[in-house]
Chain A
Amino acid sequence: MVGASAAGLAAAETLRREGYEGTLTLIGDEPYHPYDRPPLSKQILGGQWDPDRVPLRAPADLDALGLDLRLGVAATGLDLADRTVALADGARVPYDGLVIATGVRPRRLPGDGGERAHVLRTLDDALALRDRLGPGRRLAVVGAGFLGAEAAAVARGLGAEVTLLEPAPVPLAPAVGERVGRMLARAHHDHGVDLRTGVAVAEVTDGGVRLTDGTLVEADEVLVAIGSVPNTGWLEGSGLTLGDGLECDEYSAAAPGVYGAGDVARWHNPLFGTAMRIEHRTNATEQGMAVARSLLRPDERRPFAPVPYFWSDQYDFRIQAHGYLRGHEEVAVVEGALEERKFLAVYRSGDRVAGVLAVGMPPKAVRTWRQAVATRAAWRDAVGELVPEGT
C-alpha cells in the first residue's frame, strides 16, 4: 500500500482481517501514524481537540496488524514489470499486489509561498493556521468550497475577521445546486463573514490577496482552498494511465494486481454509469476495503459501485449528502425549508434519483432517500414530474 491514510489503512486492515498472512508494507511520506483529515478543518482548527484525537487507530490496534510501516518516506517510482516500488531512501519494495492510495494535495496560487499563506491538508497545516487565528486577526479565505467554508466558519468562531473570496456567482452551485448554494451564502452573511462572489484572485501578496482587477484584500493570514491535485507524480513513466488522477476500471484496477483507492483514484462507477473521482472520507475507506477484497479473492471480485457519501459542518449545521450530485439537472426540496436550514433536497440526473442532501433532518428520512439513490429509483415515482433546473 502506498499512501498511509484512510484508504491505505482500510486496505491493510481488510487484508489482515480477512486472512492475508504475508508481508504488508504501508508506505507514507508523512511522519505520522495514519490520521483523520476531516477534524483538521473542524475540531483541530477550532482548538477543541488536541492532535492526539486524530490518529485513525489506537497504537495497539495498529501494532496488531503486523505491518511493515515505512513512514516519512515517499514512493518515487513504480516498475510494473519488476513489481517493485522505489522509495526516496533508495529502498525497493517488491509486491505481489499493489494499492495506490496517495491522495491529493492542495492546488496553489502564485505567491503563496510566504509566511502568511496557508493551505489545509495535513495536521501540520491545521496546527500552523490554528496558531495564527484569534480575535481581531484578519483571515482571507480563497475558495468557498466545503473546505474554505468550514475554515471560514471555524475562524469566525475564534473571533477572526473573515473575508471569503469566490470566483463563482454562487458558492458550490455545481456541487449542490443554486438554491442550496445561496442558502450557504446566506449562512456566511448571517455569521459576519464578508463573502465576495464573482471575484478572481491573482496572487497572494505581502499585504493579503491581490484580485485580478488590482484590488488588494488586506489580510494577516490567507488560506488558499481552491481545490486539489491528485498525487500521481511518482507514477509518471510507469505505464499506468494518468489523467485527472489514476485511471481505473470498474473494479478500481489500474493494471493487473494494481488498484487505486481514495482521493487519487478515478474509476468507473457502474451504479451511476460514469467515471468519477471522489474526495470524500467514506469513499476512501470503502474503496480501500473493496480493492483489498479484490486482491484477496480475484475470482470473486465485483465492480465497485458505491453510493458516495459526504458530510460537512458549517457553523451550527451539518450538511449530509448521499449520491452523485455533480451534473444534476434538477433539485427538489421534498421536506422542510431551506430558509430554516432544515430540509431534504433530492437531485435528478436523467430520469433517475441521483442524490439526496439533507440539513437537520431525522436520520431515518435521510436513509430512506439514500435507498432511492442506491436503487436508482425513477424520479417520476419517487418525486414527480421532471422540471429542468432554471424553469
Chain B
Amino acid sequence: MSGDKGDGDGSGEGKGVTMRVEVDVPKCVASGQCVMIAPDVFDQREEDGIVVLLDERPPSELHADVRESAVVCPAAAIRVVEK
C-alpha cells in the first residue's frame, strides 16, 4: 500500500514518501482536534487530554489526515517531516 503512483490524495509526490510525526507535548493544549481528524495516529491522555502519539510513522493512506492535523493543531504542537 505504499502507493507508487500519485493516487490523487493531494500528496502528489508518489513513490513511497515516508512520514515522521513529531509532537511537542509541552505545547499541546488538549484540544483534541488531531484525534478527531486522525484517530489512528493521535490519542489523548485520559486524565488531562494531552496528546499521545500512537504512530510515529503512519502509513501513506493516513498522510493527508496527519498533515491536516498538523495545520489545524491550535498549539502548533505537531510537526510532520516527509522524505
Contact = CB atoms under 8 A, between A and B. Distances in A.
Interface of A: 10, 13-14, 17-19, 36, 38, 53, 55-58, 61, 281-282, 285-286, 289, 309, 311, 318, 320, 362-364, 366-367
Contacts of A281: 74
B20 interface: no
Contact of A285 (B47, B67, B72): B72
A61 B30 contact: no
Contacts of A364: 46
Given A58-B79, A363-B46, A363-B49, A17 B67 contact: yes
Contacts of A56: 76
B29 A38 contact: yes
Contact of A289 (B27, B30, B36, B72): B72
A285 B44 contact: no
Nearest to B68: A289
Main secondary structure of the interface of A (DSSP, over half): helix
Contact of A320 (B31, B75, B76, B79): B31
B12 A19 contact: yes
Given A311-B30, A363-B49, A367-B35, A36 B71 contact: no
B33 interface: yes
A53 B27 contact: yes
Most buried by A among B29, B35, B36, B46: B29
Contact of B46 (A17, A38, A286, A362): A362
Given A18-B10, A309-B31, 14 more contacts: A10-B71, A13-B71, A55-B76, A57-B76, A58-B79, A281-B74, A285-B71, A289-B72, A311-B31, A311-B74, A318-B29, A320-B31, A363-B35, A367-B32
Contacts of A362: 46-47, 49
A158 to B, nearest CB: 19
Contact of A363 (B32, B71, B74): B32
Given A17-B10, A58-B79, A367-B36, A311 B71 contact: no
